[in-house]
Amino acid sequence: MSVIALTPLDLAIAASLVLVLALISWRTRLGIGRQLVIGALRTAVQLSLLGLVLKFIFDNEAWWWTTLVASIMLLAAGREVMARQKRPLRGWWGFGVGTTSMMVSSFGVTFLGLRTMIGVEPWYDPQYAIPLLGMLLGNTMTGVALGVDRLLQSVIREKETIEQRLLLGQDRTEALLALSREAIRAGLIPIVNAMAAAGLVSLPGMMTGQILAGSPPTEAVKYQILIMFLIAAGTGLGVICSVRLTARRLFDERHRLRLDRLAG
Check: CB of residue 234 under 8 Å from CB of residue 102: no
Does position 256 bind another protein by CB under 8 A?
A: yes
Q: Is 160 in the site for another protein (CB under 8 A)?
A: yes
Backbone angles phi, psi at 108, to 5 degrees: -60, -50
Which of these segments, 26-34, 42-50, 197-205, 252-260, binds another protein (CB under 8 A)?
Answer: 252-260
| Comparison of 29 and 254: residue with beta carbon closer to another protein | 254
Q: For another protein, how many residues bind (rule: CB under 8 A)?
A: 18
- Quick one: three-class SS letters along the chain? CCCCCCCHHHHHHHHHHHHHHHHHHHHCCCCCHHHHHHHHHHHHHHHHHHHHHHHHHHHCCCHHHHHHHHHHHHHHHHHHHHHCCCCCECCHHHHHHHHHHHHHHHHHHHHHHHHHHHCCCCCCCHHHHHHHHHHHHHHHHHHHHHHHHHHHHHHHHCHHHHHHHHHCCCCHHHHHHHHHHHHHHHHHHHHHHHHHHECCCECCHHHHHHHHCCCCHHHHHHHHHHHHHHHHHHHHHHHHHHHHHHHHHCECCCCCECHHHECC
| Piece of 82-90, 109-117, 165-173, 184-192 that binds another protein (CB under 8 A) | 165-173
168 lies in the site for another protein, by CB under 8 A: yes
252 near another protein, judged by CB under 8 A: yes
Regarding 255 and contact with another protein (CB under 8 A), the answer is yes
What are the distances in angstroms from CA 118 to CA 129, 141, 219, 256? 10, 23, 13, 47
Helix axes 205-212, 217-249, angle to 10 degrees: 150
Q: Could you say whether residue 153 binds another protein (CB under 8 A)? A: no
- 201 interacts with another protein by CB under 8 A: no
Which of 32, 171, 214, 222 is in the footprint of another protein by CB under 8 A? Answer: 171
Which range binds another protein by CB under 8 A, 17-25, 80-88, 144-152, 155-163?
Answer: 155-163
Task: Give the range of 42-50, 80-88, 149-157, 254-262 binding another protein by CB under 8 A.
Answer: 254-262
163 near another protein (CB under 8 A): yes
Minimum CB–partner distance for residue 110 and another protein (Å): 40
Q: How far is the CB of 251 from another protein (least distance, A)?
A: 10
Q: Which of 165, 176, 204, 234 binds another protein (CB under 8 A)?
A: 165
Closest CB 16 distance from another protein, rounded Å: 55
Contact between 61 and another protein by CB under 8 A: the answer reads no
Of 4, 167, 200, 201, the one binding another protein (CB under 8 A) is: 167
* Residues of the shown chain interacting with another protein in the complex, contacts defined by CB under 8 A: 160-161, 163-171, 178, 252, 254-258
